[in-house]
Amino acid sequence: MDFSDSPKEAAFRAEAKAWLASNVPSAAELDGLDPLTAAKLWQKRKYDAGWACITWPKEFGGRGASAIEQVIWNQEESKFQGLPGGVFSIGQGMAAPTLMTWANDEAKARFIPKLASGEEIWCQLFSEPAGGSDLAALRTRAVKDGDEWVINGQKIWTSGAHYSDWAILVVRTDPSVPKHKGLTYFYINMKSPGVEVKPIKQISGEAHFNEVYFTDVRVPDSQRLGAVGQGWQVSLTTLMNERASIGAGGSAVGFDSVFKLAQKVEIDDRPAIENASVRAKLADWYCQESGLRYTAYRTLTALSRGAIPGPENSIGKLVGAPKTQDMASFAMDLLEQAGAIRDESLSEEMALYQNTYLSIPGLRIAGGTDEIMANIIAERVLGLPQDVRVDKGIPFSEVPTGGAK
């Protein structure tokens, strides 16, 4: 066990640091660019220099770096605040590992490098009005027609569908068998005729996710991943990687920001940080953050020895999202009445805490809710029995439903 850099790792860190120092886009360079263009600019620059998706093999645009080198890179890159990004996480974190596992060589060569370079953005067409937590209850239908499949139905909550080029998609190909057995997995071009994207406005007022409607959308059979009816297994590859990547993503609201805030604001004319209850809360959050960080590092050590991401990764999301929510709420309390102000020109750190307070509920739901994460840990890590399921073993077409209306 050694938490410090080996000489080789130190050299890698120095190289990463040096490259970042001279290549991170300046504020002036990004000024006036929309977030998507800015994100693409930074991603392409990393890609051209071999710093994108560094653990991927060279032929896919990476540099075959080790998991530990990925940790080092993340540590160094995250030292620069406010770098554009975010839009690539679904493609790089979920679509790419699924393609790497299930696609043929031709498809891998065609799609994966463009995921690394950020030239093509992917979204995830999984959830439906009738199937969120219960993803396998989805109803969007695909029917075979010669060498093609014809798709009809609706997806919902699709993050980034409005700017995505491609998508991973699970659909029902056979309603006459039990629900997990009748699914098939495809990737599709978002510009296909018959695909219609409608934005959904969130609590925060923004619209990052969408409804996506399919009307007689034709997808070639060559875009199928896995066998017909094997869609659930392919989805699990995506979901395992989803939890790993969501868990790893940090929020700007964390120990460092709230600690600084507590040093700055006062309680009864003394810095808030001197207050015992403030200290106790901050200490707990520090312990959670640190525990998550070293749990992730330990997982990486295991991955670098050939393990695949397992259900243990659900911890990151299950702990991280509620922690961020509580910290944003607590930071607003520290501001007392002014905690309510969301006006960016008047509020601490351009309303970081208020904006986070409004956006964070989504993170406790996206990618599997807290309750589903707890179930996954209970069932797949601790080996406890599955919930009693009334839909088990019966044809999907006979399963009772009641949608979100």
Partner 1 sequence: MNFEFSEDQNLLREQARGFLADNCPTTVVRKVLNAETGHDADLWRKVVDMGWTATAIPEEFGGLGLGYLELCVIAEELGRAVAPIPFSSSVYLATEALLLAGSQAQKEKWLPKLAAGEVIGTFAMAEGAGRTTAKSIKTRVSGGRITGTKVPVPDAAVAGIAVVLAGHNGGDGGTLCLVELGQGTSVTPVRTVDPSRGHAELRLDGAACEILGREGEGFTLTQTILDRAAVLFAWEQVGGSEAALEQARAYALGRYAFGRPIASYQAIKHKLANMYVKNTLARSNCYYGAWALNANAPELRVAAATARVSATQAYYFASKENIQTHGGMGYTWEFDCQFYYRRAKLLSVAIGSEALWQDRLITAIEQNTAA
Ligand X SMILES: Cc1cc2nc3c(=O)[nH]c(=O)nc-3n(C[C@H](O)[C@H](O)[C@H](O)COP(=O)(O)OP(=O)(O)OC[C@H]3O[C@@H](n4cnc5c(N)ncnc54)[C@H](O)[C@@H]3O)c2cc1C
Could you give the residue numbers annotated as active site? 242
Within 13 Å and on the Cβ side, how many CA atoms surround 264? 11
Q: Could you tell me which stretch among 92-100, 111-119, 351-359, 370-378 binds partner 1 (CB under 8 A)? A: 370-378
Give the rounded distance of the alpha carbon of 371 from its chain centre: 18
In terms of Cα–Cα distance, which of 226, 233, 239, 172 is closest to 397?
172
Q: How far is the CB of 349 from partner 1 (least distance, A)?
A: 17
Residues that bind ligand X (CB under 6 A): 123-124, 126-127, 132-133, 157-159, 209, 362, 365-369, 371-372, 375, 387
Q: Residues in contact with partner 1, total (CB under 8 A)? A: 50
Q: How far is CA 106 from the centre of its chain?
A: 26
Interface pattern 36-75 for partner 1 (x via CB under 8 A): --------------------------------x--xx---
Which residue of 109, 346, 350, 384 would you call a contact of partner 1, by CB under 8 A? 384
Using CB under 8 A as the binding rule, whether residue 81 contacts partner 1 is answered as: no
H-state helical runs in 271-368: 276-304, 314-334, 352-359
Q: Where would I find the beta strands (DSSP E) of 108-231? A: 122-125, 141-145, 148-159, 166-172, 183-189, 195-200, 209-220, 224-225
- Residue 194 CB coordination number (10 Å): 13
**Residue 339 C-beta: closest distance to partner 1, Å:** 22
Assess contact for 185 and 102: CB atoms under 8 A.
yes
Residue closer to partner 1 by CB (options 45, 281) is 281
Binding partner of residue 127 among partner 1, ligand X, none, CB under 5 to 8 Å per kind?
ligand X
Cβ-based nearer residue to partner 1, 90 or 273? 273
Q: Is 236 helix (H, G, I), strand (E, B) or coil?
A: helix
- What would the x/- binding string for partner 1 be over residues 264 to 293, using CB under 8 A? ---------x--x--xx-xxx-xxx-xxxx
Q: Which is nearer to partner 1, 121 or 373 (CB)?
A: 373
Q: Among ligand X, partner 1, none, what does residue 28 contact (CB within 5–8 Å per kind)?
A: none
d(CA 151, CA 216): 5
Cα atoms found within 13 Å of the Cα of residue 29, Cβ hemisphere only: 13
> What is d(CA 392, CA 405) in angstroms, rounded to the nearest whole number?
25
Q: Is the dihedral of CA 156, 91, 106, 68 positive or negative?
A: negative
Give the type of residue at 295: T
Name the binder of 203 from ligand X, partner 1, none, CB < 5-8 A by kind. Answer: none
Residue 77 touches partner 1, criterion: CB under 8 A: no
> Closer to ligand X at the Cβ: 206 or 284?
206
Residues that bind partner 1 (CB under 8 A): 1-6, 9, 68, 71-72, 259, 273, 276, 279-280, 282-284, 286-288, 290-295, 297-298, 300-302, 312, 315, 318-319, 371, 374-375, 377-379, 381-388
